[in-house]
Structure 1
Amino acid sequence: MDTYVRAVPDPFSAAPTRHRVRIAGGAEVWSMCAIDALGIPAMLGRDAVISSTDPVTGEPVTVTTDGGTPVWEPAGAVVFVGQRPGGGPAAAVCCDALNFFTGETTARAWADEHPEVPGHIVGQARAEEIATRTFGPLLAP
């Protein structure tokens, strides 16, 4: 089971973060984390361009949805899904631990540098599934 859980899902951030989402035909917004960024297109039923950076290297990670189909750059990009122990609001316990990485090597390096954040690396399909499951139904009638 994945550790990402929110009592009241809200993928948007009022303050700038490393995760920017440009919604097709609409606004440019910040998201709280990588899973939130992936969830915004699913929640709105709109294509988007997600721009983020690998927290280890600073290199860009981009996910572009076209017709609902995501394309990841670089092709080997992954997401680390983690949560700080102790509970509390998602912003405090997991948002800074849910990041895009250019690949498994940098995600592992980040995890090794942050042993206080239990979690695991997920591939693109699994990250998209978690985001869609979390945010997809929010605005459904």
Structure 2
Amino acid sequence: MSWEDDAMRITVLTVPECPNAHVVEGRLTRALDGRAADVERVEVGDPEQAARLGMTGSPTVLIDGVDPFGMPGTPASLSCRLYRGPDGRVEGAPSVADLRRALAEAIAAVHRDCPPTDAVDRGGQGRLAPVAGGLRAVQQAVLRHFAATGHSPSTKELEPAAAAHGRTAAEVLADLAAEDLLVLDDHVRIRAAYPFSTVPTAHRVRLASGIETLAMCAIDALGIPDMLGVDAVITSIDPVTGDTITVTSSAAA
């Protein structure tokens, strides 16, 4: 397939002669169902290359540079990677259903235009949650927690903000997810709260405080320092070349 401006870029990272390389490529073809995409297989031969490209086992699938099946803290690896399918079985490649879901999430992210999220306690529209039902209070609690720790808060940590509005944190989080203000997994854990991500991405932001956090996309990464009004160093991996791009952001006076 040829490169297209609006085509999804999918990279399959494998070790040489990986038995599941053809399996995952076949499942990707079924999951794409004719959708425009540029699919490339990259064979990885050493740990340094695996770390640079974000490979945590063979095969690793990157959609526009992001591993949709990655788990925080997983080290780079050349070993065989295992995936748990919808039926609970463990296989050496993501299922067609899981690939379809990952592709749908990637397409949805593109159509959101990935704008910088409104700052905590700042005015503006975009992704600012409504006040009613405790949505804004919990959203801001989530964003503050990311800014202070680099990772998402637990449901328990959000209970005080939700209780102030007579609700549980789980109820408010469900409403925020329905409004596309954050993304939850099947256990009501926060996977992403724009612009922050808990799953591995190619975009890392190191705040002046020393806290490091992940951003959902490159534009989100650029928006985090401005949102928080702090200096930061942003590193992002080019999805095509694998090169690391570093940007230093200074807070406005």
Normalised by the length of structure 1, the TM-score is 0.43
Higher helix share: 2
Structure whose alpha-carbon radius of gyration is higher: 2
Q: Which has the higher contact order (CA 8 A, sep 6+)?
A: 1
